[in-house]
C-alpha cells in the first residue's frame, strides 16, 4: 500500500468517499470546490492503483493542525489503512514543527489507539470552529475532540 499526497485527479474519488460517509451522518460533506481548494491538505492510501483511504491535515495556526475527513473504504476496515494515514499526518506535522494535532470525530476509540487523548472541545481555540457553521449539527456538535502532543 502507498500513502501519498493527493493530486487533482484524485478529487472525484475523494469526493465519493467523503460524501458516502457524510450521507451516513459520520462526517461533514465536502463540495468538489472545497476539495480542489484544499487538495494540498489531502493524502490518499492507494492499494493496487485504487484509492482506498483518504484524509487531510489542515493547519490552523503555528502550533495546531487538524486531522480531518479521514475515511477508509468500508470493506477494508481493520486493515491498518486509517492508522497509516494518521501516522502520515503526524509525520507531516512533525516536519512542519507543529506541536499539536487534534481531531473532531465519532471514532474516539480509533484515535485513542493512535495516541490521541480526549480533550474538552470547549477549550479549543475559536478558529477550530470555522468550518463547523456548515455542519447541520451546529451548534449542537456531538463529535468528540481528541488531541495529540507530538513533541513527546
pLDDT digits (tens, 9 = 90+) for 27-65: 888 999 999 999 999 999 999 999 999 999 999 999 999
Cell numbers standing for residue 73: 473504504
Confidence (pLDDT) at 76? 95
The whole-angstrom separation of Cα 45 and Cα 52 is: 6
Containing domain of residue 21, as a range?
A: 2-149
> Phi then psi for 117, rounded to 5 degrees?
-115, 140
Counting the structural domains of the chain, the total is 1
Residue 144: give its domain's CATH number. Answer: 3.40.630.30
Angle of CA points 30, 87, 29, to nearest 5°: 10
User: Does 135 have pLDDT greater than 60?
Assistant: no
Short-list 57, 69, 132, CA closest to 98:
57
User: Does 17 have pLDDT greater than 80?
Assistant: yes
Cell numbers standing for residue 21: 460517509
Q: What are 62-119's pLDDT values in tens digits?
A: 999 999 999 999 999 999 999 999 999 999 999 999 999 999 998 999 999 999 999 9
Question: What SS3 state is found at 138?
Answer: coil
Rounded mean pLDDT, 112-129: 77
The whole-angstrom separation of Cα 49 and Cα 93 is: 26
Amino acid at each position: 500500500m502507498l500513502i501519498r499526497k493527493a493530486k487533482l485527479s484524485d478529487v472525484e474519488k475523494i469526493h465519493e468517499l467523503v460524501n458516502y460517509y457524510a450521507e451516513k451522518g459520520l462526517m461533514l460533506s465536502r463540495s468538489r470546490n472545497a476539495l480542489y481548494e484544499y487538495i494540498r491538505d489531502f493524502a490518499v492510501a492507494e492499494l493496487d492503483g485504487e484509492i482506498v483511504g483518504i484524509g487531510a491535515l489542515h493547519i490552523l495556526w503555528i502550533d495546531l493542525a487538524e486531522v480531518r475527513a479521514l475515511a477508509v473504504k468500508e470493506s477494508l476496515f481493520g486493515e491498518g489503512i486509517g492508522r497509516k494515514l494518521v501516522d502520515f499526518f503526524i509525520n507531516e506535522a512533525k516536519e512542519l514543527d507543529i506541536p499539536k494535532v487534534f481531531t473532531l470525530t465519532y471514532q474516539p476509540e480509533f484515535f485513542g489507539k493512535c495516541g490521541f487523548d480526549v480533550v474538552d472541545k470547549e477549550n479549543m481555540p475559536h478558529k477550530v470552529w470555522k468550518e463547523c457553521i456548515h455542519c447541520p449539527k451546529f451548534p449542537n456538535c456531538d463529535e468528540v475532540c481528541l488531541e495529540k502532543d507530538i513533541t513527546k
